[in-house]
Amino acid sequence: MTGASEAKDFYQTHFSQIEKETGRNGQAWAREIREAAMSRFSEMGFPTVRDEEWKYTNVAPLAKIPFQPTPFKSGRPAPDRVERFSLGMTEAIRLVFVDGGYSPELSSLHRLPQGVQVGSLAAALHGEAGWVESHLARYADYQEHAFVALNTALMRDGAFVYVPEGRIVAQPIHLLFLSTGAKEATISHPRNLLVIGKGGQATIVESYTALENKVYFTNAVTELVVGENAVVEHYKLQEESEEAFHIATLQVRLDRNGNCSSHSIALGGILVRNEVNAVLDGEGGECALNGFYMVSGEQHVDNHTRIDHVKPHCTSRELYKGVLDGRSKGVFNGKIYVHKAAQKSDAKQTNNNLLLSRDASIDTKPQLEIYNNDVKCTHGSTIGQLDQDSIFYLRSRGIGVEAARSLLAYAFASDVMGRIRIEPMRAHLDKLLVAKFHHDGS
């Protein structure tokens, strides 16, 4: 593909194929949403660097590749190949999606508390789950965001999680999205709907990974609804193929006294864009956004966050840290938006970056937009390099220069990684980061 109009026509063909596959099955309301989203994407097309929100991330290379929809009935990997992506969470409730499609034979749904529903969104769309209609596509804005519109139009499967009022899910719910690799470049549009009812509690982990180092595109959208007095820990680990494109949106809505912590970790991919948006839509809501990104070579990672303080007496905390090596490029754009009625808002945003090479770069833009005087809000960012005195000190203790660099970079990341409350996952990530620091530094 060479032009924007050709790309739009190409994905319109994808839409027509999905409509033919589904026929008149499923819910009329879902078809209407798909059609509206496809129409909106056709109007917008892919964003360009002329768009302020995409000023530092050029998706033109992605738009030129004729990605093909992944076939759901392709060969399934053996269970032992999947087990290594468990992140050490052997007791977790696990949903596995292979090339975008739900794989019940690789999933493990056990010990679900009464009333808790965990399964395939495609199945829910063909069922009678009224709460799906009440929430799907109500929060992630496909009218203003092209990739959300494309996902909404072309979504075929993903995870649904419903925790009813007062239920507590003790073990993590792991949503594993696995790309197997194909001869031709493929695309998948995982769509996840996570609804945690009043007073409910859950820990949810999304992980995106690959069996082969192939070119493919993951365009994911997750809508997370946190009910009144509910508590949710949400983790996302992205370690896609080194040649993969990954664009994802997490849209969180919190009700009165809801509490949500988001942890976003980006390690893989050649071009990555993570959007994390939280709306504090009830008094007393609390939200924490934590993020870590580590890139090298020619990788490009873009983190966009937005926290809307809509109601009074809400608190938000945000800490994103990045380590960049080689000729990699990072982008951080975080906005805290305090609405007129949101008095007594308390918000703090921090972005810290560590450049390990002269050719690595970061564009960072923390922002505050405040329409109420009775608030407490701060923001800041830093860009730095390894402290040479610290390297000298470690070398004087017999530690080699690359090992010293790795130790200091790991220490830089530790305060974000230390916020991960799932012990097996944190241990797994510690090993992963140590190996990556050693590899990138060698």
Whether the CB-CB separation of 404 and 373 falls below 8 Å is answered with no
Whether the CB-CB separation of 349 and 378 falls below 8 Å is answered with yes
How many CB atoms within 10 Å of residue 173? Answer: 23
Amino acid letter for position 132: V
This prediction's pTM: 0.95
pLDDT digit string (tens) for 2-59? Answer: 555 677 788 988 888 888 777 656 688 888 999 999 999 999 999 999 999 999 999 9
Pull the structure tokens for residue 175: 């949503």
Q: What is the pLDDT of residue 74?
A: 54
Q: What is the pLDDT of residue 20?
A: 76
How many CB atoms within 10 Å of residue 385? Answer: 12
- 422 SS3 class: coil
How many CB atoms within 10 Å of residue 348? Answer: 15
Q: What is the DSSP code (8-state) at residue 16?
A: H
Q: Please name the helix (run of DSSP H) or strand (run of DSSP E) that holds residue 372, with its range, or none.
A: none
Cα 335 to chain centroid distance, Å, stands at 17
- Locate tokens 């949106």: which residue? 249
C-alpha 351/C-alpha 248 separation (Å) is 20
Q: What residues of the chain score a pLDDT lower than 50?
A: none
Amino acid letter for position 343: Q
Distances (CA, A) of 299 to 72, 243, 254, 326, 425: 29, 9, 33, 9, 24
C-alpha 248/C-alpha 207 separation (Å) is 12
DSSP 78-97: PHHHHHTTSTT-TTSEEEEE
- 433 SS3 class: helix
Q: What is the DSSP code (8-state) at residue 67?
A: P
Closest CA to 279 of 228, 221, 202, 225: 225
Pull the structure tokens for residue 297: 């070579």
- 52 SS3 class: helix
- Locate tokens 């499967």: which residue? 157
Q: What is the pLDDT of residue 72?
A: 66
Distances (CA, A) of 12 to 8, 9, 153, 275, 286: 6, 5, 9, 24, 40
DSSP 304-368: EEEEEE-SSS-EEEEEEEEEE-TT-EEEEEEEEEE-TT-TT-EEEEEEEEEE-STT-EEEEEEEE
- Give the sign of the dihedral formed by CA 139, CA 143, CA 148, CA 153: positive
- Locate tokens 């929430």: which residue? 135
- 427 SS3 class: helix
Beta bridge partners of 305: 276, 334
Pull the structure tokens for residue 348: 């703090």
The dihedrals phi and psi of 405, each to the nearest 5 degrees, come to -60, -45
Whether the CB-CB separation of 67 and 187 falls below 8 Å is answered with yes
C-alpha 299/C-alpha 270 separation (Å) is 5
